[in-house]
Structure 1
Amino acid sequence: MMRIPIIAGNWKMHKTVTEAVDFVNQVKDQLPPADQLQTALAAPTLCLVPMVQAAAGSPLKLMAENCYCKDAGAYTGETSPYALYQAGIHHVLLGHSERRKYFHEDDDLINQKVGAALRNGLCPIVCCDDTMARRIAADDQIHWAVNRILADLKGLSTEDICKVTVAYEPSWAIGSGQSADPNQAEEGCYLIRQTISDMYGEDVANNVRVLYGGSVTPENTGAMMAQADIDGVLVGTDSLDSRTFLEIVNH
């Protein structure tokens, strides 16, 4: 099966509802057909429903930046995966390095969130990272990323793993302006795919999309997406401006 590339923006804690809807209106008619390239935006929860309404009929998909591992309950401040799906959100970003660093999310919790998302019809984009320090000290950052994938995807069925996208984001590249070069990025994505192949078989691994994220720009998108095992990019800062985002999408 051919893997359809995906370019996803991650806004983090940026934009008001009005700004988010304005952005959607600026880009929604200038995106490639979804059967050629899928385009998505991960936005703050408050913005998602108005964005879904603004994007209706366009190729643009909206993603949550996080969800909890329970459908409902006494979990003040958390977002229900069930409620997200009912609101028209079909994708969710899980395990981003900022969630791991600032909110102390571990692989066990992320694994539970992945299961909850899939159970509710959401397609997770699961992030794994490494550190520059590990690369310099021992050149073992890829092994660490692979171990994380084993933990985050533990227990998923073959049917479920085919609904998951994995994003490889070296932590030293996120927001730093210093991107991995295309060969480094390809190495990480290739080894992630090989890990999935070891878990589920080569045919399944060849159907799972693997993205690169970390200081993605209009200038490096084409080189990244030309690599055999990179099926798209997860864009941070450069997804906040509609013109720059469109440059990346239409690279």
Structure 2
Amino acid sequence: MKHGKRYVEAAKLVDRSVQYDANEAVAILKKTAVAKFDETIELHIRTGLDGRHADQQIRGAVVLPHGTGKTVKILVFAKGAKADEALAAGADYVGAEELIPKIQNEGWLDFDVIVATPDMMGVVGRLGKILGPKGLMPNPKAGTVTMDVTKAIADIKAGKVEYRLDKTNLVHVPVGKASFSEQQLLENFQSIMDAINKAKPSTVKGAYLKSIVLTSTMGPGIRLNVAKLVG
């Protein structure tokens, strides 16, 4: 794969044979994120889990102390008083069955997160084939299937991110934006690592976390010292 001039220059700042401490990695990231837009800083973790086994799945959410730097659009599936509550709490869209054809037939997906009250999951389930592959299905573990829609919306707006194992046993989580200070990025990163360490299944055999990489949208990956990050 051929890389542009900026990437090549940025890559010179990273020694691929070194596993960096988190503070060193963040300092380098700030220098390598040189795109003309505010790049997202991402965390990629290769785990020793086998996601084919239900007892080795990890999924959850964490509210980042400094948010994600991204404005998130929230769709809430709710009725009656809960629909009113969702609107009052700042949801961007609120609805019920009438949204099914809009999403199914018109391909409407102008939202980033879906929150649903438990009684609406039968309705949302009909959209599983569309929402599932896009990672948009609400889930109790992520706090997006709940009667407390006010708290769910407040957490998401404050910078709640979801983490979960993908089909290749990797976890990908946004940490913040390149415009954040090093301290903000480090605190967000530490919050995610604390949550992932806490989520470790008791059934895992061998190493839980095999490699941890921080990268910006357009920049090279920076490998972290895993031993120092395993709780």
Higher strand share: 2
Larger RCO of the pair (alpha carbons < 8 Å, separation 6+): 2
Greater helix content: 1
Structure 2 length-normalised TM: 0.29
Relative to the length of structure 1, the TM-score reads 0.27
Structure (1 or 2) with the larger CA radius of gyration: 2
